[in-house]
């Protein structure tokens, strides 16, 4: 059996889950970890006994034996430069979403991967959610007939919302609905988005990072399918889970409703009250099995690198998602629809919008 040496850059919450997954699979010969926080690196090192642990990601890049790298760093501005350096060094790369903060950065990463004949994918783990996979199957096999509409409603708790939002000023459509945009576009392939209209409402999260509490985004596809995605992160602290999602897909021959609200596992204790266990989007290890998408997704990319098979999420599809949520942010700011693909005028307007946001943060 072929094995490879693997590097994990960033071993916080998500990177730690990936590191544990990689430490458990026989496909990894040696595991190398990197994080800028010494205490976190020491904690993960003690747990998973890597071949090496470093505070400098260049040690991963300069190790010629490492062929596959997982990048799970925060803040998100680090994604582009670290992924760029890894691709330039000839490493296969799995990068957490977003692919980049600017479209030109995404384009450069895609170009580098193609030029160096490397596997490059983005961490959109919802494609590994069994309910989403079932929806894909029912669309592909014709059970639903011609798809007419898709509705997704996703809410995060404030606890998780604050954890995400305090590190960067990105909206809920960028940080959360991005997952829904990805899997919906995957469900509807080869259809592509042609128009975006988004509205947002301010509330609890505005003083945290200046973002909307919730955004509702309508996307028109080039085959006429209408998509509505609602995403927010302001459910009260007392809400018993981290992430609650409801999905409805209608077609000419049927309809499919997916309850992913995580209400099927109730834990109630004197100390913490009622909790819906295993309710984060990434999931978690539960003894010997992984509950969620990140575990299977992590191993899938490793297998794609070893067997030279296609990755589940292409960087081009991640760029399309980025273009769509960028249009959604601009639409909410302008209070008008935005056409896709983006024109030079809208790309310029998005750049101005981002400058305005950054200026607001510096005041």
pLDDT (tens digit per residue) in 37-52: 999 999 999 999 999 9
pLDDT tens per residue, range 154-211: 998 888 777 777 666 788 999 899 999 999 999 999 999 999 999 999 999 888 888 8
- Classify 55 as helix, strand or coil: coil
Average pLDDT over every residue of 21-27: 97
Q: CB burial class (10 A; 0-12, 13-18, 19+) of residue 74?
A: middle
CA 154, distance to chain mean position in Å, is 14
CATH of 127-281+320-345, one of 3.30.360.10, 3.40.50.10490, 3.40.50.300, 3.90.1150.10: 3.30.360.10
Q: Is the pLDDT of residue 362 over 70?
A: no
Q: Is the pLDDT of residue 361 over 60?
A: no
The CA distance from 229 to 248, in Å, is 11
pLDDT tens per residue, range 132-165: 999 999 999 999 999 999 999 999 888 877 777 7
- Classify 226 as helix, strand or coil: strand
- The reported pLDDT for the residue numbered 274 is 87
pLDDT tens per residue, range 269-310: 999 888 888 888 889 999 999 999 999 999 999 999 999 999
Average pLDDT over every residue of 100-112: 96
Work out the percent of the chain whose per-residue pLDDT is above 90. Answer: 80
Q: Is the pLDDT of residue 363 over 60?
A: no
- Classify 9 as helix, strand or coil: strand
State the average pLDDT for the chain.
94
The CA distance from 9 to 68, in Å, is 11
- The reported pLDDT for the residue numbered 210 is 84
Is residue 273 left, alpha or beta, with left meaning phi > 0 and alpha meaning psi from -120 to 50? left
Pick the more confident residue, 353 or 254: 254
CATH topology classification for 4-118+296-311: Rossmann fold (3.40.50)
Helical packing angle, 177-187 and 315-334, nearest 10°: 120
In the chain, the DSSP E strands lie at 4-9, 28-34, 52-54, 66-71, 92-96, 120-123, 147-157, 193-201, 214-221, 226-235, 243-251, 255-260, 266-269, 273-276, 284-286, 289-291, 338-339
The tokens of 69 are what? 């790298």
DSSP summary character for residue 272: T
- The reported pLDDT for the residue numbered 280 is 85
Q: Do residues 135 and 126 lie in contact, with contact meaning Cβ atoms separated by under 8 Å?
A: no
Q: Where are the domains of the chain?
A: 4-118+296-311, 127-281+320-345
- Backbone phi, psi, residue 193, to 5°: -75, 140
Q: Is the pLDDT of residue 83 over 80?
A: yes
pLDDT tens per residue, range 232-272: 988 888 887 788 999 999 999 999 999 999 888 889 999 98
Residue found by looking up tokens 């945290």 in the block: 208
Return the H-helix or E-strand segment holding 362: helix 344-362
Average pLDDT over every residue of 57-71: 98
pLDDT tens per residue, range 304-352: 999 999 999 999 999 999 999 999 999 999 999 999 999 999 999 999 9
Q: Supply the pTM of this predicted model.
A: 0.94
What is the rounded (10 degree) CA torsion for 235, 160, 124, 300?
-130
- The reported pLDDT for the residue numbered 168 is 66
């Amino acid at each position: 059996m072929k094995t490879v040496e693997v590097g994990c850059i960033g071993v916080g919450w998500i990177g730690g889950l990936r590191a544990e997954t990689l430490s458990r699979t026989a496909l990894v010969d040696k595991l190398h970890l990197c994080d800028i926080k010494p205490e976190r690196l020491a904690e993960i090192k003690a747990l998973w006994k890597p071949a090496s642990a470093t505070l400098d990601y260049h040690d991963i890049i300069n190790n010629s034996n490492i062929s596959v790298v997982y990048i799970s760093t925060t803040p998100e501005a680090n994604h582009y430069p670290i992924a760029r350096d890894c691709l330039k060094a000839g490493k296969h790369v799995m990068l957490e979403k977003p692919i980049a903060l600017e479209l030109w950065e995404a384009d450069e990463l895609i170009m580098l991967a193609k030029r160096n004949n490397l596997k490059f994918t983005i961490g959109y783990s919802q494609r590994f959610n069994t309910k989403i996979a079932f929806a894909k199957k029912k669309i592909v096999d014709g059970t639903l007939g011609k798809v007419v509409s898709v509705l997704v409603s996703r809410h995060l708790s404030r606890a998780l919302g604050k954890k995400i939002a305090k590190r960067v000023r990105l909206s809920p459509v960028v940080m959360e609905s991005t997952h829904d945009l990805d899997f919906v576009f995957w469900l509807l392939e080869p259809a592509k988005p042609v128009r975006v209209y988004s509205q947002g409402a301010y509330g609890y999260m505005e003083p945290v990072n200046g973002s909307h509490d919730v955004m509702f985004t309508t996307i028109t596809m080039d085959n006429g399918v209408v998509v509505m995605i609602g995403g927010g992160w302001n459910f009260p602290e007392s809400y018993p889970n981290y992430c609650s999602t409801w999905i409805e897909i209608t077609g000419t021959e049927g309809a499919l409703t997916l309850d992913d609200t995580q209400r099927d596992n109730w834990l109630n204790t004197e100390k913490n009250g009622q909790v819906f266990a295993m309710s984060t989007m990434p999931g978690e290890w539960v003894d010997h099995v992984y509950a969620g998408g990140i575990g299977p997704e992590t191993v899938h990319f490793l297998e794609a690198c070893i067997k030279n098979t296609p990755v589940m999420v292409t960087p081009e599809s991640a760029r399309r998602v980025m273009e769509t949520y960028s249009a959604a942010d601009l639409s909410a700011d302008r209070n008008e629809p935005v056409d896709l693909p983006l024109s030079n005028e809208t790309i310029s307007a998005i750049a101005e919008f981002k400058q305005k946001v950054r200026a607001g943060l510096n005041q």
